[in-house]
Structure 1
Amino acid sequence: MEADLAEPLPAARWIEQQAPAQLDVLIYNLGVWEANAFSEAYSFLEDPDDSIATMVAINITGALMLLRRLIPRLLDSYRPQLILTGSTSGLRQSGQPEVTFGASKFALTGIADALRESFRYQQLAVTCLQLGYLNTDDGLEVPSEAAAGRGEGWQIPLHDVIRIVSALLQLSPASFVRELVLPAIGDERF
């Protein structure tokens, strides 16, 4: 399913109509960042108002609107599980200057914490994956070792993210991983 979460309410409604009635796992992997993010050209003071508003709509409002509609479909599952993709940029003292992106990923962690408490007695396992810089140039068809070599220790191969998610999906209903931080080995912030 494709939807433009820059218009969060219509997108959430459309996804709600298309999604299966019963879900076992929901992986929410979405986020956009500033045009000049992660570069020397980045300047919060030069970010246009409409760009900031769109990022908040996609990264925060979109998440809330969509999760509110899809979580009820998880709750009847044997092991209902929600995995939210955060970012190391959203962690306290991340050392990253991207204001809107960092704030929106910090908000996602708060959303995860509140959802966990709201649905604890329905045994909804909520995990927030705080991912560092990803190697998105190499797909899963590229051997893991080759993908891990790109970026000289500054990029995480997608293979590692898949392995982590696979491990989360294999846990029993008696436990969950609250938060997992996965930075690249060369990331000096961690």
Structure 2
Amino acid sequence: MKNFIIFGASKGLGEAFVKGLPEQGDHVWIVSRSRPDSLNLNNGVHKHWIEVDLSSSEASKQIANTLNGITLDVLIYNVGIWESRGFTDDYNFEEDAPEEIANIVHVNVTSAITCIQKLLPNLKQSANGKIILIGSTAGLDNSNYTQISFAASKFALRGICNSLREHVKQDGIGVTCINPGEIATQIPYEEGVDKVLAAHGGTQIPLQDIVSLVKCVINLSKASCVKEIHMPTMLDTNA
């Protein structure tokens, strides 16, 4: 039996993790602002919702108080907000508001640090703890992203992984950063890979592929250390 905590799990990739990773009898704590539909699934997995806004400075304390010493085996920080017009044709970095920039950095970077910090005691109780941070190809060298705050936050996530890995190495906790390209989050997990391939070919990654990758990492023994995985789409010309 494993205990999971998944951040950003009310929809998209986070919801796919909730549906695809825990097995019957496992417990999963779902961190999100809005109530996740996955709570309604009757699949033998014990699901617990932590309603919290990660932009709040009190979020990490609230989450830690909810767990209250419960052992965690897997922590997945799957959070990544971006500029409100960041992926529109007329996006212009020079028009980004300072408040929006600060919020992107806080939610994507500061919250990741503080939440993991508060939950390390829970992870240290596990016999084979794993921390997985979901980055982006936007955080890799020579990407063509012009969304500066988003890209900077994903670069920072890689730095968090590198230093955190050294900090918890003595505790046998694995820390992995996964940097995917564009994901087909608009096609629900349960609708399968074939639908994504038919609609997008090699231009978007099926949710199932990332779930399978994470499942592999969390099932490795504590003797293995998977540092970082880059996962662009097959037809990504910038990969």
Quote how far apart the aligned CAs of 1:149 are. 2.8
- The equivalent residue for 1:16 is 64
CA distance in 2, matches of 1:156, 1:25: 23
RMSD: 1.2
1:163 corresponds, among 189, 212, 226, to 212
CA distance in 1, matches of 2:66, 2:117: 15
Aligned: 1:185 with 2:234? yes
After TM superposition, the structure 1 stretch with the greater mean CA deviation from structure 2, 132-141 or 33-42, is 33-42
Quote how far apart the aligned CAs of 1:108 are. 0.5
Matches within 5 A, 1:20-169: 21-169=70-218
Quote how far apart the aligned CAs of 1:23 are. 0.4
The TM-score normalised by the length of structure 1 is 0.95
CA distance in 2, matches of 1:167, 1:2: 29
What are the ranges of 5 or more consecutive residues in structure 2 without an aligned counterpart?
1-49
- Ranges of 4+ aligned residues in structure 1 off by more than 4 Å: none
The answer to whether the 8 A contact 2:77-2:133 is kept is yes
The answer to whether the 8 A contact 1:83-1:127 is kept is yes
Quote how far apart the aligned CAs of 1:150 are. 2.6
Determine helix, strand or coil for the equivalent of 1:166: helix
The answer to whether the 8 A contact 2:173-2:222 is kept is no
Higher normalized contact order (CA 8 Å, seq sep 6+, divided by chain length): 1
The TM-score normalised by the length of structure 2 is 0.76
CA distance in 2, matches of 1:45, 1:141: 40
Query: In the alignment, residue 90 of structure 1 is paired with which amino acid?
Result: G
Quote how far apart the aligned CAs of 1:137 are. 0.9
CA displacement, residues 129-149 of structure 1 (integer Å, 9 cap, x when unaligned): 101101011111102111233
Determine helix, strand or coil for the equivalent of 2:132: strand
* Identity between Structure 1 and Structure 2 (%): 38
How many residues end up aligned between the 2 structures?
A: 189
What are the ranges of 5 or more consecutive residues in structure 1 without an aligned counterpart?
none
